[in-house]
Structure 1
């Protein structure tokens, strides 16, 4: 009797897994269509970068709709990178001479503004995707300010901040396009 109940249990689990695994395995195929559509948007200049970035990001691969993909891109890629860059600017500023320290703190402030704009874009996606698009696009001005402020410096920390800022500049069109895709 104990053998048959264990056998029944394992057969039941095996059947259940087949139903659960089949839909999960089809998710990436559907999600890749959202990714392909996003990367074909006119605001995306570097389509190979877009495809490589999003297909290698697991959360994007499992996005079940264009709005979910937009939320993942904004919160997972852009906000995450913005927070990393803010931390770097703030921590590194303490180790810099006064003139560069001021530049790093000002850069931190610009990235904080980017974070606020991205948070606003994320919140607006479901109700006003056009406003979300505008908020994501407005981050370009802050990125330009950082590049103009730090770009002339030759020290290692400044070069690292520039690299992080350039990465944000490259990621930002993905967020803009994602919001545009939701707007239709």
Structure 2
């Protein structure tokens, strides 16, 4: 019975990894936009998000026209506190990558007097794995000569004095 349990558990882990991979591949063309005031979309969130991205990332060297979005919507129930995030699906993967690159290069993104944040959309499981690096990233923030970033799916890449290392989170 123990042997059968071990075999079933191994199969379960393989199927869970495949499911997570499929979910993240399905989200490949999605981004999340945080801290956009509620009610701004006035019935057409897709057009609203396309115009918002053009406004905050436009200009010389930025977006010249609104990106082609398949759809966009707010996520989760309204709770009266923080505004719900936008989830936007791009028609073209290259446009999504351009938006993420421009957002990184620009740094702080301002819209209507507040800060807006743009992130790739990942599954809950992968987001949890990536969040395991938060404490390490806080320690590395602002250190001179240290560069770091997360590599897909959940690996921390650190560069110090030209040497580069990658690490995965430890499992307890």
Q: TM-score, normalised by structure 2?
A: 0.31
Bigger radius of gyration: 1
Q: Counting helix residues as a fraction of each chain, which structure ranks higher?
A: 1
Q: Counting strand residues as a fraction of each chain, which structure ranks higher?
A: 2
> Which structure has the higher relative contact order (CA within 8 Å, separation 6+)?
1
